[in-house]
Amino acid sequence: DNGGSRNPCEEVHAGTHATSEIETKHLQNFLCSHSNLIAYLNVHTYGQYWIYPWGYTPILPTDYRDLDHLGRSAATAIRHTHGRTFTVGEDTRVLYAAAGGADDYAKGACGVKYSYTVELRDTGLHGFVAPTSYIIPAGEETFAGFKAFATELVHYEHL
């Protein structure tokens, strides 16, 4: 349970058992019932990260170079939109250990090759309660990042 807590009052509470929460169960069912998924983007706030598995161990996925390449394409597009820099890398190396991440599950259990958690702006000044003035620029840069990611994915995977 590296990165999770058994204490229900903690922000990183792992639940009573795997998929104990109904939202988690529905996401699990969706991801694993769509075997043709090639990418999964889990969007959070905050921190300005484009991170990929694994969140529970510092061991890199065997295809980490592919994950890194596409993540960097997105981060470059984001930077060119409003100047925000997003850090790209494996979860435990650029952020911290966080067990039970949806990106880990999508990749490890459901075989979704390009699986990420995208932590939107900012880097901590406002935390989880960003001002309304962030909505439009965050949307613009996120769209630019997703568009660059999708474009590069099509090219990179010959889709």
Catalytic residue positions? Answer: 119
Strand 114-120 versus strand 49-52 pairing type: antiparallel
Give the orientation angle of helix 135-156 with respect to helix 64-82, to 10 degrees.
140
Name the nearest CA neighbour of 86 among 114, 126, 52, 129: 52
Six-digit token pair at 7? 């204490």
CA distances from 112 to 5, 59, 96 (A): 26, 18, 22
Distance between CA atoms of residues 3 and 97, nearest Å: 5
